[in-house]
Amino acid sequence: MTTTPAPVKAPSSPRKINGLEIVEVEFAETPLSTPSKSIRFKQIVKILLEDGSVTYGCAWAGCGFTGDTSFAIRPHLRVHAPETPDISKLSVGELLELAESAHTLRTDLNQTTRERDRLAKSLNEDWKPRALAAERQLSSIQRALAPVT
């Protein structure tokens, strides 16, 4: 079950369902929700129609799939999942190519992670001395520009 804390805004949807105007769209609550904490699906929306009825729909852009309950939508979400290739049908050359590609992606990910960590450390450690130096410079400029009394 895909869950997330309740988002601020639900995705856009069609204007009508079964000839009825849509009044409101929000992400549907999961069974994990409690009175103190609302937990909502990322891919399933609850749709309030003009006659007061409620239906549920797929949150993927351009997908108009709807159902009577949020659980009716869950099996449908598989159509949006990326296809996984059947590696048993690949040649040795294709497997080696795939392995090399995975290795390259892993190397790039490791480099990017190291760079992100370096930048985060730099931001966390270097900002304070620079801010104090800037405050000193600003103070001296203010003193220089202050009217003589």
pLDDT at 127: 77
Task: Please determine, for residue 63, whether its predicted confidence score (pLDDT) is greater than 90.
Answer: no
pLDDT at 6: 46
pLDDT band at 148 (very low <50, low <70, confident <90, very high): low
Closest residue by Cα to residue 3 from 39, 36, 28, 37: 39
